[in-house]
Amino acid sequence: MASGLPAHVEEADLISYGLVDLTSAIQRFELAREIKFETYALPRIKGAIIDELRSLDWVPRSVRAREREIERANVRLEGRLQRTPTDDEMASELEMTMDDFQEALLQISKSTIAALDELWSISDTSGDQVSLLDTIQDPGAPDPAKLVDASELKDRVADAIARLPEREKLVIALYYYENLTLREIGEVLGVTESRISQLHTKAVMRLRSRLQSEEVQA
């Protein structure tokens, strides 16, 4: 939690802020609840540290003053331009260089503390709540659009397989879902491996032509 905080915020102070709630968590923790102590205590400790930092307002006055100045400039420009001002327009209004303006924004961003698990109400009629953590993009997560496309493709393939002749459908099922070899499928169906190969080829060609036909029609 110390990362990103100004140098004058001592790590020892952060520890002392959290120790009080750690003690409280130890006293109130119930073993019967069958959850890890860390799961119960960590949110309480983090919350205590954040609350203390907010109450102390550790941010330098110059940063707070710059934040208010930028907010006022934004209001003036929005009223004058009737739209959201650009960064260039903001820097000009503040009589700052673009580099200085960007640096000011960076300092202000570091002065904002928010608990990732703090719940915020969604601005609609649902009344649902979401934590800040839920809104952070996961770069390793799959693309939702690609997931939808893949799901639609699976549905189309499943429909095309369902329309195959029974023998070809069985070959596809045994080969792709049961992971049997063509020879093993031949033994199951009592025919030669070459015959299974022919059935497999025909099935694949049918599937490919049907999927291509659907794409052309779409």
Beta strands in 36-164 (DSSP E): 119-121, 129-131
Instruction: Give the chain's mean pLDDT.
Output: 77
Q: Are the C-beta atoms of 57 and 36 separated by less than 8 Å?
A: no
Q: Could you give the CA distance from residue 51 to residue 48 in angstroms, rounded to a whole number?
A: 5
Which pLDDT tens digit goes with each residue over 134-147? 555 566 666 666 66
pLDDT > 70 in the chain, percent: 72
Can you tell me which residue has the tokens 């110059």?
62
Does the pLDDT at position 195 exceed 70? Answer: yes
The span from the first CA to the last CA of the chain, in angstroms, equals 53
Q: What is the pLDDT of residue 164?
A: 85
pLDDT at 11: 80
pLDDT at 154: 78
Predicted pLDDT of residue 15: 85
Distance CA 94, CA 98 (A): 10
Please report the pLDDT score of residue 82 as a whole number. 87
Tell me the pLDDT tens digit for each residue of 32-85.
Answer: 877 888 888 888 888 888 777 767 655 667 777 888 888 888 888 888 888 888
pLDDT for the residue numbered 24: 85
Name which CATH class applies to 144-217. Answer: mainly alpha
Q: What phi and psi, each to the nearest 5 degrees, are found at residue 120?
A: -120, 140
- For residue 57, the model assigns a pLDDT of 59
Residues in the chain: 218
- Model confidence over 124-170: pLDDT tens digits? 455 555 555 555 556 666 666 666 666 777 788 888 888 888 888 89
Does the global pTM surpass 0.95? no
Q: What is the pLDDT at residue 118?
A: 52
Cα dist. 193→143, 169, 170, 184 in Å? 41, 16, 14, 8
